[in-house]
Amino acid sequence: MGMTITEKICARAAGRDRVGPGDMIDGKIDKLYIKDLRFSKAEDPKGLYGLFKEILKEMGIHKAWDPDKVIINFDEQPARSTRRAEGQESAKQFSQEHGATIYEGYQGGIGHNVMVEKGHVRPGEFIVGADSHSCTYGALGCFATGIGFTETVGVLATGKIWLKVPPAIYIELAGKRPSWIWGKDIVLRIMAEFGANGAVNKTIEYGGSAVDDISIESRLSMCNMAVESLALNAVFPPDERAIEYVKQVSTATFTPVESDPDAEYESRLRFDLTDMEPFVAAPGVPSNGQPVHEFVGTKINQAFIGTCSNSRIEDLRVAAKILKGKTVHPGVRMIVTPASYGAYFQAREEGLLEIFEKSKALLTASECGICTRPSLATGEVCISSGNRNFPGRMGHRDAQIFLGSPATVAASALAGEIVDPREFLPI
């Protein structure tokens, strides 16, 4: 019997020939991502570095496990609290004393995008990140999942995590993707099919004839949402497109792995993308998705293109295409927060930032921004390209958050209400 991509990567990380669902492994980490917030004294009064130092002292050693494999990014710039600023100082100190790579200023942005753009994510790798959306990296054919603060300290000390190998769900993407459909539409449709409890602690593996045509940006967006399906990880096969992308951003060698033809899946689902309608998720949970026509006419106060889910260059291009020469509805605050400074400067070079400014969208620095910081008053309605629409996620508990593709967000910003973006896309 064959193995899936995830099983093969887990087996290699555990130093075994083979593993199957339910096996407990101690996996050796290829890469650890940490966001600056973890270094602040937010979750633990000692902070990440303080607690780590304490462990080192008790062990009687001075150095972290392989610091070349540790990447830190500042997700909030500038820091908006003293505690965060001190966390960033602590991260720098850690980096100086232990040699970890650190991204800040114009090198940074939203950590998950920085990790990908700077070539730290490669096919076949076993990656963990101190943030729930670390599952994003699976788009490039690796195993990637999020871990908590305490476990991050554990990885710094040992370079390993304990893990139960997950069973896998195979999702076949078939048919011809229409030009108005992006990763966010597809993943919202799949999540709606799963329901709220859909893929709890499982692997989602994408495949099928429609994969070729799905951009890296859209794959990243789809894997980003894996944690919202409660999956442990999601993975795309490392096809030519993925390998080409990684070679562009990294000179390091890597060993892609593919699922065996006789790999075993717990279940299989098939989605035909032909003639698919754009999808939108209603407030509450991201699995509340329905075709956009169900929500057309819903008045909005805020439109947000940002987050580690959807604010990459592909997203900025489509938003600019829709906004070009038009003005955001007077009743709407539209906020555009590029995924990274890489995407920010690329967008500037292409003239996209000027289009946003002229359309009266508020352009912000690249950071997590209002996905993690309150911006919605009681009763306000937001349509967001982000990944979370839980009550209170972006402000007051009684505010409502709809999720959609950047095209749906941009078109709705012009109309002042949720609309079908197809009517706003220039042919």
Partner 1 sequence: MKKNFKGKVWKFGDCIDSGNIKGVMAGIDPEFHTKVQPGDVIVAGINFGMGSSSEDAPRSLRDAGIAAILAESISNIYLRTLINLGLPAIECPGVSSIVEEGHELEVDLESGRVRNLANGASRTFAPFSDHAIAILEKGGLIPYLKSSLANNREGT
Which residues bind to partner 1, rule: CB under 8 A? 24, 37, 42-44, 51, 55, 58-60, 130-132, 145-151, 153-154, 157-158, 162, 164, 196-197, 200-201, 227-228, 230, 232, 284-285, 372, 388, 390-393, 397
With b for 16 or more beta-carbon neighbours within 10 A and e for fewer, the 224-262 pattern comes to bbbbbbbbbbbbbbbbebbbebbeebeeeebebbbbeee
Q: Give pairs for 106-109: CB < 8 Å, separation 24+.
A: 106/341, 106/345, 107/341, 108/73, 108/74, 108/75, 108/77, 108/340, 108/341, 108/366, 109/73, 109/338, 109/339, 109/340, 109/341, 109/342, 109/343, 109/344, 109/366, 109/367
| Closer to partner 1 by Cβ: residue 145 or 400 | 145
Closer residue to partner 1 (CB): 164 or 348? 164
Q: Least distance (Å) from partner 1 to the CB of residue 322? A: 30
Residue 1 · residue 21 · CB < 8 Å: no
Distance CA(190)–CA(401), nearest Å, equals 19
Number of residues in the chain: 427
**Minimum separation from the CB atom of position 24 to partner 1 (A):** 5
Smallest distance from partner 1 to CB 26, Å: 8
Q: How far is the CB of 128 from partner 1 (least distance, A)?
A: 10
> 301: which residues sit within 8 A by CB, 6+ positions away?
331, 332, 333, 376, 380, 381, 382
**DSSP 8-class letter at 272:** E
Q: Residue 5 or residue 37: which is nearer to partner 1 going by CB? A: 37
Nearer to partner 1, 130 or 347 (CB): 130
Shorter beta-carbon distance to partner 1: residue 151 or 354:
151
Q: Minimum Å distance from CB 396 to partner 1? A: 12
Q: In angstroms, what is the minimal distance from the CB of 208 to partner 1?
A: 26
Burial label, 67 (beta-carbon count in 10 A; 0-12, 13-18, 19+): middle
CA 216 to CA 141: how far, in whole Å? 11
Closest to partner 1 by CB, 164 or 293: 164
Instruction: Choose between 141 and 166: whose C-beta lies nearer to partner 1.
Output: 166
Q: How far is the CB of 123 from partner 1 (least distance, A)?
A: 23
